[in-house]
Structure 1
Amino acid sequence: MSRSTDIFLTALAPVVWGSTYLVTTETLPAGYPVTMAALRALPAGLLLLALTGGPPPRAWLGRVMVLGAFNFALFWALLFVAAYRLPGGVAATLGAMQTMMVIVMARGWLGTPIRGAAVAAAASGVLGVALLLLGPEAALDPWGVAAGLGAAASMAAGTVLSRKWQPPVSALRFTAWQLTAGGVILLPSALLLEPPLPGLSALNLAGLAWLGLIGAAATYALWFRGLARLEPGAVSMLGMMSPVTAVLLGWGVLGQALTPVQGLGAVIVLASVWAGQRANRPRPAPGAAIRPA
């Protein structure tokens, strides 16, 4: 399969993730962020476990718990804190910083070289997200900023470690392991920190089904598949597609305004994603292209 196809399939994940804000605000009960995160992860993980062959072997349990914490439990929990304490634009702009963090972590954990073009593409993407989402009402709550940066760091660590620790199983089964681990970590926190969940309506269940089966199980399988085939820096750049989708859905479905500055931001984000794929493309080893006379 070509690299372009791998990029396209991996990009579908953040495109779908861009619907999370719309689905959460329009279909789920408010005030239960950790409970909703647990219900998003655990049922989808258990279903995938049943379909793909069961839990991980004992030798992989520690790594799977770490990945489940970084990619789901810690990431989603901090993301909700940031979303509650900061305007959405500020939280999303801090989240876009995870691309920079991936570049640094990949250098330390994978030995991936830091390339100036990749750093420039990541910085341009952060600027584009800021133009796309930040408004005059943006405020900086210290705890919210810390949570936003923590969420970005958690996602970055999960991205790089998911590439470093590749089990000999399918991407769908790898996703099942991590979703279940994340749900197991989130469930006690939900029971301790939040009141009992009221009865769920058909709309609530439909929203959870979308976020769990499509927005978690299917899309993270594509994400982890991409991490096995592409460079972590290239994959992390694709994550910037999520705020573009969120803004377009807000404009098309909720009737929210779309300003020229936001349009410019979207163009910059898309251009930086394209540039990031080129900058992170693996280069042949020195002498590999030399042909004998």
Structure 2
Amino acid sequence: MVALTAIAPITWGTTYVVTTELLPPDHPLWSGALRALPAGLLALAFSRALPRGSWWWRSLLLGTLNIGAFFPMLFLAAYLLPGGVAGVFGAAGPLLVAALAAVLLRERPTARRLIWGVMAVLGVAAMVLGPDSALDPLGILAGMGGVTSMALGTVLSKRWRPPVGPVASAGWQLTAGGLVILPLALIVEGAPPALDAQAVAGYAWLALVGGLLAYTLWFRGLGRLPAGGAAFLPVLSPLVAAVLGFLVLGEQLTPLQLGGFTLALVAVAAAQGSRRRRRTVRERESAALCDHIDER
């Protein structure tokens, strides 16, 4: 389950290189709309399920948090910050989710998970921050806003379990988020940008793989994983972005960056390992109780 869910943030890690290399510049709102809306409509057509009752407003709220607010801020940060710098804010997601889950889900964060959350932030910071990092103020605000929006969306997605499968749930939220972005894109950025073949390919990748596939797997995993453990998986996004920067863009990785990469990766793995250990302990306690009852 963890491995399948991890595919989502791994594909999200391609957003920076696709945005900078394939998409038309200076269109974060249209990039968000063209990523979300086609994928959402395709999921709706495939699942043939529409929200009912309270799920109309819940889908709108979750779609706004996970897509409608998150996508524009993600693209704006990608446009304004050098590759991976926005990942420092994303790495703070586990800490934000832990705080929100304690309030909304009564899911108490363990000291171990908080420590690994801090280690993840330090690891990503060591990997992407350097003396030449250009920290655009608007990019910083976009990065902070994006991670806060997704953290709240992650926790509420755990609190409200949709009465449908992950494809329909992804379709509801992607469509709602795309419809939230669309009028803003028209007002702020005007007509859609002209698309050449590479831009079409970039948007197709972000919509079908980074949107439809990734969010289907993400919402499926959120329904089965603890919010605190799932929150660590998006840390994989800046790690993937850094690797692609090295392989595709020719960016260099220093020993400090490699150390940060390793530390962040260990933090993600350790957070999932602590979840498995607690489950094993619960299973052993349950088995011992059953044995005790059988003996009596």
Aligned partner letter, 1:278? G
Range 196-205 or range 214-223, more displaced: 196-205
Q: Match of 1:237?
A: 232
Q: 1:3 aligns to what?
A: none
Amino acid at match of 1:92: G
Give the direction of change, closer, same or farther, for the CA distance of 1:169–1:233 in structure 2 (3 Å limit): same
- 1:111-159 CA distances to partner (integer Å, 9 max, x unpaired)? 1112000001111011110011111123555544333222111010111
Which position in structure 1 is the counterpart of 2:18? 23
8 Å contact kept, 2:84–2:238? no
Q: Provide the residue aligned with 2:205 in structure 1.
A: 210
Structure 1: gaps of 5 or more residues: 1-5
User: Residues 94-105 of structure 1 correspond to what in structure 2 (within 5 A)?
Assistant: 94-105=89-100
The runs of 5 or more residues in structure 2 that have no matched partner are none
Between 1:275-284 and 1:111-120, the stretch displaced more is 275-284
* 8 A contact 1:97–1:149 mirrored in 2: no
Answer with 174-183 or 190-199: which moved more.
190-199
2:257 maps to 1:257: no
How far apart, in 2, do the equivalents of 1:198 and 1:97 lie? 33
TM-score if structure 1 supplies the norm length? 0.92
Instruction: Could you list the structure 1 runs, at least 4 aligned residues long, displaced by more than 6 angstroms after superposition.
Output: none
Alignment of 1:70-149 (within 5 A): 70-138=65-133, 140-149=135-144
Equivalent AA in structure 2 for residue 22 of structure 1: V
TM-superposed CA distance for 1:58, in Å, is 3.5
Q: CA deviation at 1:250?
A: 1.2
Q: Which moved more, 1:96-105 or 1:175-184?
A: 96-105
Residue 202 of structure 1 deviates from its aligned partner by 1.6
Residues 169-206 of structure 1, C-alpha deviation per residue, up to 9 Å, x if partnerless?
11111000000000000000000000323431121111
SS at match of 1:199: coil
Query: In the aligned structure 2, how far is the partner of 1:143 from the partner of 1:250?
Result: 23
Distance in 2 separating the partners of 1:51 and 1:198: 28
Q: Does the CA contact (< 8 Å) of 1:125 and 1:268 recur in 2?
A: yes
User: 2:155 is paired with a residue of what secondary structure?
Assistant: helix
2:216 aligns with 221
Task: Specify whether residues 252 and 86 from structure 1 end up closer, same or farther in structure 2 by C-alpha distance, changes over 3 A only.
Answer: closer
**What is the match of residue 60 of structure 1?**
55
Would you say the 8 A contact 1:39–1:208 is kept in 2? yes
Partners of 1:138 and 1:207 in 2: how far apart? 26
CA-atom RMSD, angstroms? Answer: 1.9
Where does residue 173 of structure 1 map in the other structure? 168
Task: Tell me: CA distance 1:146–1:250, structure 2 relative to 1, closer, same or farther (3 Å).
Answer: closer
For the 8 Å contact 1:118–1:280, the answer to whether it is kept is no
SS for the counterpart of 2:176 is helix
Q: State the shift of 1:286 in Å.
A: 11
Q: Distance in 2 between matches of 1:45 and 1:229?
A: 22
How far, CA to CA, are the matches of 1:153 and 1:280 in structure 2? 23
TM-score (normalised: structure 2): 0.91
Partners of 1:54 and 1:263 lie apart in 2 by 45
The letter for the 2-side match of 1:115 is T
